Structure formats: C-alpha cells, structure tokens
Chain A
C-alpha cells in the first residue's frame, strides 16, 4: 500500500499537469 500511495502521488500531479495544459489550450479559444 505504501508503494501504491507513492506512485499515486506522482500520478496525481501528472494528471493535474495534463489538466493545466488542457485548460491553457482551451483558454486560447475563449
């Protein structure tokens, strides 16, 4: 479980980065 959580921490930030990229791109078309 400790290993799973450690990987999940990194994965959550990676997902947040992709969300950021998506929103920045979307914002250009507003």
Chain B
C-alpha cells in the first residue's frame, strides 16, 4: 500500500468520524438544514470556500493554465473571488434575514408563491446534480490515479466518504467537515509552491523562461496562447471577463454559496465571512495557477494537462508534502459533493415535499434523512452506471444558475415593484434561455460566438420574462410588504461594537487588494517585461 493511498484513507475516515460525531447534536430540522442558525465566521468561511472550490479548480482550471491559458484563468479567478463581497451585501444578508431553511423557500416566502418555490427548487436540483456528478467524477478519477483501484470501486468509496455523514448530520456535519477540508486544501495549495519554484530554477528564472517559451508561446502573456481558445488576445480577454462575471454571479446567488449564509449566527457573520472568503479563494486559486504555470517549466509533456498537479505531487515534492497536496485535492472534491448532496436533499424534503412536514419534530427529521438518503442513492446510480444521456447535463455547470437566478435574486431584494409573476417568468425564461442554446451547442458541436454565449441569452431572456411577467401582473400589497420587511434591520443586529468590527474589516480587505496588486506588479509583470 503506497503512502498516497494511506493518506487518502486516513483523511476519508477522519471526515466520516467528525461528520457523524457532529450529527449527534442534531435534534430538529433547523439543526439539520441550517445548523441551528448559530454558525460562526470560521465555519461559514470554511464551508463557502470548500463548497465553491472543487476538483474543477484543482484539476480543471490548473489544466487550462498548464495548456497556455494562464492570464484568462487568473482574470476569472480575480473576478469570481470578489463576488463574495457583492453577493453577501446585495443578497446573502437579506436571505439570512428572511429566516428560511433553503433558498427556494426564500423565493417562495418573498413572493408568497408555491410555484416559484417549486421552480427554484427544480432549477437548483438540475444545476446541482450536474455539478455533483462532475465532482464525483473528479474525485473518482483522482482516486483511481492515486490508488490504482478500479474506477467503479472508487465511485463507491467517494460516495460513501461524504454520504454517511451528510445523510446523518445534515448541514451541521457538512459545515464542520467542510472547514476541516478547507484547511487541508489551503495548506495543500500553499506548501507545494516552494518545491515547484525550486525545481523550476527559482521564481525569476521560471517567469523568464515561460515568457520566452517557444513550445507554448504566450503561456503567461496577457494574450494567452493563441492556439488554445480564440485566435486573438482581445477575444481571449473578453472571454475571461465574461466568464469572470458569470462566476462572480454564481458566487453571489448560487444555492451552494448563498445557502451557507442561512446558517450564520447573525448578519455581521454574513458580511465578515464574505471578506475572508474572498481573500481565501483569491489566495488559493492564485497559488494554484502560478504553481501549474511553473510545472510547465519543469515538465512540458504532462498528458492530460489536468493531471499536472498530481504529477508534481508525486515527482517534484517530498512524499509527505505530496500526500498533503493529493489529500487536499481530494478534500476539495469531497467537500463540494457533501454540500451538493445536502442541498438537493434539503430542497427535496423542505420545498418539494413541504406538505409532508408535520408537528412531530422527530418525524420531520426522519423524513429529511430518508429523503437525503434516497437522493444519494439516485446520485450513486447515475455516477456508477455513467449513462451518457445523463452525463450531458454536466455541460451546464454554474452558468445555468447564474442565468436563471441572477437577475431575479438581486431584484427580489432591490426592486420594490417586482411581482410574483415577474419573478416566476424571469427565472423560467432565464433557465430555458441558457439551457436550450447550451444543449444545441453541445449536441451540434457548434461553438457559439462570444456575444451569443448561453449566459448572455439567459440573462436577456430573464429580463424579458421579468418585463412581461410584470406587465401581466403587478406587485401586490403583500409583495411590497415583504419587500419592506426585508429592509428593516432586526433589533438583534443593532450593536455599535459589532458594527465597528464589521466595518473595520474593510481596511483588511483594502490592504489585501493593495498587496495583491503589488504582488502581480513585482512578481509577474516586471519580471515578464524584463524577459521579453
């Protein structure tokens, strides 16, 4: 048995034990769905980042960097990381105020609408199932390459590793294990860098060599490598900005991010968590992207490109550091999968089967656990049998939720005149406006021009839906009363000391922004310009 396999097994057992222990304190559905609404900043930050960064970031994004798309991915990373600050202050704080168990429940409550709650639950399940299958595929592929075990055996191990505690402990277990996993992959992203930089001949030497690369010209230039995606730097830059905005919107409104805020102990926790999460995501992703660029300098022949970090963990780093890195990548996948399962299960039992809830607390908890277990079995079956007609939904990713929920979510907080009909049609047309062109593009193999990206079509259709829905039926007095109620600060939030502490975090974030800019100027731009 190799050291990497031992590390992975220890980590998985740790997650299951800690997750199950956390479940012993779960007594009500509120504990199960929103961890009793008592979570402090550290747990919210851990869960926000662990739910967002998955094997997609550790293997997919780093593979794109390695393939020559460094600056494109960096721009996406910068924009998406800032999404936390906008999301928490424009949406997250207000859904926390609504005191609901799920985000679809918020939409239903805001517009007194069962059909909107159903629609948001269905779109959530569609997008999150797509993501979950993708995460399970990533975890299983990684485990196969580390352990040499059969892919299907790894699917079952991966499934067991997060299902046991998620079904039993709900959000309480997910919050704690997410935070542990976040700390592991934060360490993993940071401790490998010195070894990679050393093996690449030092920082300046690596930047110089990459700037002058003839095998992959432009790998770290602003234009990116022109053979990779679009043939001009301008088009690549536009792609990066568009997708940076898409992912910032995903961070702002997606259920796998904003549902974390429902568990925060107060609104100060929501706002503070957003700042730390933004800095955390920026730090982890930038560390990973530079690492993968440097790995190209060490070995330009890794195939497939998405395995470059795995190659470095096994060939460049000391064994213990490599074990931490591989365990960290696995943790990123498992933590996202546990949140996804918990979201699908919660929405099924809390929103779709809402009528089954009774006054019996124990019975409600039992129904929730059974619902979650059934969902997990369906997901296992999908991942295990891997039917091609199901796996097409993995193409949809986060853009669907950004198109369907983006405008409706923000308008639900900031538009007094938003009616139920406007919200419903905005969400439905936004969803279809993204799914239909994406399906067409995937099935026909036609790459749509950047200005016809399904995200744009979805956003435009969402706006059309809001306009038509608003014309059909105007906001009622009840809609307006809900809007007003959202903008009344609860008395429990009024605390001068806490206000000051929350505000002062702005200075920390300002300093981080200045430090980030200086880092890029001094460690990337100036050495790059000297080299060319």
Query: Which among B82, B502, B513 is the interface contact of A24 at CB below 8 angstroms?
Result: B502
B423 in the interface, Cβ–Cβ < 8 Å? no
Contact (Cβ within 8 A) A28 B524: no
Tell me the bound Cα distance from A5 to B221 in angstroms. 11
Check A3–B93 contact: CB distance below 8 A. no
The answer to whether B412 has its CB under 8 Å from any CB of chain A is no
Per-position contact with B for A1-30: 1 when CB-CB < 8 Å, else 0? 111011101111110111111011101101
By beta carbon, the residue of chain A nearest B282 is A13
Which B residues from 289 to 315 make CB contacts under 8 A with A? none
Do A24 and B506 form a contact, CB below 8 Å, given A13-B512, A30-B487?
yes
> Within 8 Å CB of A24, what residues of B?
89, 271, 499, 502-503, 506
Q: Max chain A CB contacts within 10 Å: which of B90, B503, B506, B514?
A: B506
Instruction: Give A19 to B502 CA distance when docked, in angstroms.
Output: 13
Known A20-B275, A30-B489; contact A5-B512, beta-carbon cutoff 8 A: no
* Residues of the A chain whose Cβ atoms lie less than 8 Å from the Cβ of B514: 10, 14
B219 CB to nearest A CB, Å:
13
Which residue of the partner chain B has the closest CB to A24? B503
Kindly name the residue among A19, A20, A27 whose own CB sees the greatest number of chain B CB atoms within 10 A.
Answer: A20
B278 in contact with A16 (CB, 8 Å): yes
With A14-B514, A28-B499 given, is the CB distance from A20 to B506 under 8 Å? Answer: yes
B528 touches A2 (CB 8 A): yes
Q: Tell me the complex Cα distance, A16–B502, Å.
A: 15
Which A residues lie within 8 Å of B275 (CB)?
A: 20
Q: How many residues of B contact A (CB 8 A)?
A: 45
A16 pairs with B517, CB closer than 8 A? no
Instruction: Determine which residue in A10, A23, A25 has the highest number of CB atoms from chain B within 10 A of its CB, and name it.
Output: A10
Q: Are B521's CB and A12's CB within 8 A?
A: no
Q: Is B71 in the interface zone, CB < 8 Å from A?
A: yes
B529 at the interface (CB under 8 A from A): yes
Residue of B nearest to A14 (CB): B513
**Does the CB pair B518–A10 fall under 8 Å?**
yes
How far is A7 from B516 in the complex, measured between Cα atoms in Å?
Answer: 9
B44 interface contact, C-beta 8 A? no
Whole-angstrom distance between the alpha carbons of A8 and B265 in the complex? 35
Q: Tell me the bound Cα distance from A4 to B487 in angstroms.
A: 39
Asked whether, in the complex, the Cβ of B524 is within 8 Å of the Cβ of A17, the reply is: no
Rounded to whole angstroms, the CA-CA distance of A6 and B221 in the bound complex is: 12
Rounded to whole Å, the gap between the CB of B446 and the closest CB of chain A is 31
User: In angstroms, how far is the closest chain B Cβ from the Cβ of A15?
Assistant: 8
- Contact indicator A2/B518 (Cβ below 8 Å): no
Q: Which of A12, A14, A16 has the most CB of B within 10 A?
A: A16
Say yes or no: is B410 at the interface (Cβ < 8 Å to chain A). Answer: no
B75 near A16 with CB under 8 A, answer no
B488 CB within 8 Å of chain A: yes
A10 lies within 8 A of B93 (CB) = no
- Whether the Cβ atoms of B489 and A10 lie closer than 8 Å is no
Who on chain B is nearest to A25 by CB?
A: B503
The reply on B330 being an interface residue by CB < 8 A is no
Q: Which residues of A contact B85 (CB under 8 A)?
A: 16-17, 19-20
Q: Which residue of A2, A9, A17, A27 contacts B506 across the interface (Cβ within 8 Å)?
A: A17
Q: How far is the CB of B355 from chain A (nearest CB, A)?
A: 34
Residues of A near B222 (CB, < 8 A) are 1-2, 5
B509 within 8 A of A: yes
Given A2-B525, A3-B521: A12 touches B499 (CB 8 Å cut-off): no
Query: Are the C-beta atoms of B516 and A9 separated by less than 8 Å?
Result: yes
Contacts of A2 in B (CB 8 A): 71, 221-222, 524-525, 528-529
Across-interface contacts of B8 in A (CB, < 8 A): none
Return chain A residues, CB-CB under 8 Å to B282: 13
Cβ-defined contact, A17 with B510, below 8 A: yes
Q: Which residues in A have their C-beta under 8 angstroms from that of B74?
A: 9
Known contacts A19-B89, A27-B489: A12-B509 contact under CB 8 Å: no
CB distance from A18 to the nearest CB of B (A): 8
Taking the closest CB of chain A, its distance from the CB of B33, in whole angstroms, is 26
List residues of chain B with CB within 8 A of the CB of A9: 74, 78, 516-517, 520
How far, in angstroms, from A21 to B529 measured CA to CA in the complex? Answer: 35
**Distance of B473 from chain A, by nearest CB (Å):** 28
Is B524 touching A10 in the complex (CB atoms < 8 A)?
no
Please, how many angstroms separate the alpha-carbon atoms of A17 and B73 in the complex? 22
Mark contacts of B70-87 with chain A using CB atoms, 8 A cut-off: 1 yes-contact digit, 0 otherwise: 010011001100100110
Apart from A6-B524, A7-B520, A23-B89, what 10 extra A-B contacts exist at CB < 8 Å?
A3-B521, A5-B222, A10-B518, A16-B85, A17-B506, A20-B506, A23-B90, A24-B271, A27-B267, A30-B487
A-B contact pairs, 15 of them (CB 8 A): A2-B222, A5-B222, A7-B521, A10-B516, A13-B78, A13-B512, A16-B278, A16-B509, A17-B507, A17-B512, A17-B513, A23-B271, A24-B499, A27-B271, A28-B499
Interface of B toward A, CB cutoff 8 Å: 71, 74-75, 78-79, 82, 85-86, 89-90, 93, 221-222, 233, 267, 271, 274-275, 278, 282, 487-489, 499, 502-503, 505-507, 509-510, 512-518, 520-521, 524-526, 528-529
